[in-house]
Amino acid sequence: MEPDPPLSASRRAVLGASASLLAASPAAAKVLPDEAEAQRILERYQSFGDKASGGPGDTASGDWLEGELKAMGYACQRQTYDMPAYEGEAVLTCGAARADLIPQAIVVPTSGEGVSGPLYVASGKGGPGIALVVLPHARWSTAVGVIAQRVAAAFGAGATAVVIVTTGPTGEALALNAPPDKSLFKGPVAVMAPKDAGPFLLAAAKGETATLRMSGRSFRRPAFNVTATLKTGAAKTLVISTPRSGWFACAGERGSGMAAWLLLVRWAAQARLPVDIALISTSGHEYENAGGEHFIQELAPKPDKTALWVHLGANVAARDWHERGAALSPLPSADPQRFMLASPAILSSARAAFAGLPGLEQPYAADPALAAGELGNILRAGYTPAIGIFGGHRFHHARNDDLRCVSAALIPPVARAFVRVISEAVANG
């Protein structure tokens, strides 16, 4: 790593002013990242329940965010579009065995009686019936790619329906992201928890008959991005983004990033930065970042008018866990499976600012091929400099990603590190 170049006199002056603001100003002290405020945000976000795009929890959290941002002095605007949705059951039965499943979006429903047929493991076997696609151990998050290929192969071999077993670090079923416009699959597909799979694998070995019922309503509904601006008349804009929606309550996946984002934008509202500020909190995340793409295409400042894009994606500050066989115990430390990418111009700044924060202490040079989530869309659209976090904690996309998965104490260090990177980046012009 090459040493940082010497600071120019003008840059020293701006950084000195920023440091003085943060250290001495009573007004700034009120907006510095704060653990109690992070806890308030986590609890409020959790209170909205499931955050599926366009659903009641997603809408309520968007309403709440608008109120928070307006109180900080931002001018808010909604960006609307429609997203897929499903309401109804998803159940697999076989003899006395029964398991509640996660319907795979975009859902292809069954009839009211469901789909019945021999149950079998798809590997090396095909034919009419319900195929179990058992995945290897991983922190699964999207059906696009490997999973889509395996499910398509099962349908190609004659399966009437497919049940995916998302083998992972918690034994829970993991919801899988999907494209926003049409179903990936030609038949009904659902996801089963590995902890529930035992009786069905035994039944599959005997070719017993099973029934998949997923006879609810598959439809589309309106969703919206929350966007906000603070105009200073500057030539360039600082963009700060975070997703808002998710399959379930998403305390670790989304809540930790939401808390860090709100702490950061509260600081930015009063820091008198020499840039305009544009904020975006997206819905549509589960559908391959559809809300973020809408913002980039329709409302985002152009790359050449953007001073810096800061993105807080999944697993910004979720807890790590001790494993004791099947038992998991939460730790006070952060899950290190969080990744940071930063443009070359700010990479050394990011290394210094995030030193000592597990996972984030090793930022990588920004590359769309290495990015996940909305950060990939941002980089592919040509935004630079940019910096962002993404990752998947242990309960990523699980139904029980709740307040056990977060600690308010983990959030302010991340927000403070971003304050430092932003201050240095805008000082450089």
Q: What's the pLDDT tens digit per position in 241-265?
A: 999 999 999 999 999 999 999 999 9
Cβ(243)–Cβ(254) below 8 Å: yes
- Average pLDDT value for residue range 147-154: 96
pTM of the model: 0.91
CA 214 to CA 429: how far, in whole Å?
Answer: 55
φ, ψ for residue 220, nearest 5 deg: -120, 150
| pLDDT tens per residue across span 309-351 | 999 999 999 999 998 877 899 999 999 999 999 999 999 999 9
Q: Is 374 found in the same domain as 269?
A: yes
Q: Do 80 and 93 reside in the same domain of the chain?
A: no
Residue 32's pLDDT is what?
66
pLDDT value for 429: 67
Residue 413 and residue 321 in one domain: yes
> Is residue 124 located within the same domain as residue 239?
no
At what angle are helices 35-47 and 256-270 packed, to 10 degrees?
Answer: 130
In a domain, 46, yes or no: yes
275 and 251 in a common domain: yes
Mean pLDDT over the full length of the chain: 92
Q: Are 278 and 409 in the same domain? A: yes
Domain stop point among 215, 235, 269: 215
pLDDT at 13: 39
Residue 1 within any structural domain of the chain: no
Question: Do residues 117 and 240 share a domain?
Answer: no
3 state DSSP class of 230: strand
Q: 73 and 125: one domain? A: no
pLDDT above 90 for 28: no
Domain count, the chain: 2
- Tell me what pLDDT residue 301 has: 97
Strand order in the sheet with 115-121: 97-100, 91-94, 209-213, 115-121, 130-134, 161-165, 189-192, 102-103
6 domain residue, yes or no? no
Q: What is the CATH number of the domain that holds 280?
A: 3.40.630.10
pLDDT per position as a tens digit, 272-283? 999 999 999 999
Q: How far is CA 128 from CA 27, 59, 114, 160, 188, in A?
A: 68, 41, 14, 6, 13
CATH number for position 204: 3.50.30.30
Tell me: do 204 and 243 sit in the same domain: no
Say if 2 falls within a structural domain: no
Owning domain of residue 264: 19-84+221-428
